[in-house]
Amino acid sequence: MKVILGILIIVSLSAGQVNYSSQIQPIFNQNCTGCHGSNGGLNLTSYAELMKGGNSGDVVNAGDAANSLLVQRIDGTITPRMPQGSDALADSTIDLIERWINEGAMEEASITEEEPMPVQFEIAGNFPNPFNPSTRIVISANREVEGSAVIATASGRTVFDFGNLRMNPGANSLVWQGEDNNGRRLSSGPYLFIFRSADQILSHRMILLK
């Protein structure tokens, strides 16, 4: 099985998640909304508007900051560099935006900073649920566990393969963007996240909305 590096993110959440409202939106308010406000194209005045994308399509690729147009514009990978006509954002600011995207680009953090060690290996849930276009699946582990994970339809047909995984003690995250293995957007409906290890199979039901 393959590991989808651009989509699969396994992260430790012990340091706390980036909060969109208090940490990311203020960056846009201070540096970006003067041009990217309500006059068409990309609108950075709110999370909902940001996730709609702009004239060039989606600008945030949840779980994959390096391939997100937003990051490529602010770090100068793609020109013109943003914010155009102003000083470039500080490296620490860009790093914060990248971290937020790699954590799943969620509007609200779902894991608090002080998380006790899990008492068992289990799927804690996915956030948000229902979701569109992406969701973050949280797996709590009380030990290191190796296995594999897939997304399947309610009838059991596999549509996305995360590949071989290693879960570390604590909270682990996988980001799924509602796509199949070929990058095609899937239709609305219920889907199952299934994790298989040598001694157990865990499943969790999720709802994709369009």
112-169 residue pLDDT tens: 444 566 668 899 999 889 998 889 999 988 889 999 999 999 999 999 999 999 998 8
91-113 residue pLDDT tens: 999 999 998 988 888 887 654 44
- The DSSP secondary-structure symbol of 102 reads H
**Which residue spans of the chain are classified as CATH 2.60.40.2550?**
122-208
CB 25 within 8 A of CB 46: yes
d(CA 115, CA 174): 18
Q: Which fold has domain 122-208?
A: Immunoglobulin-like (2.60.40)
d(CA 117, CA 120): 9
Name the CA radius of gyration of the chain, rounded.
18
Q: What is the spatial order of strands in the sheet that 201-208 belongs to?
A: 158-167, 145-153, 189-197, 201-208
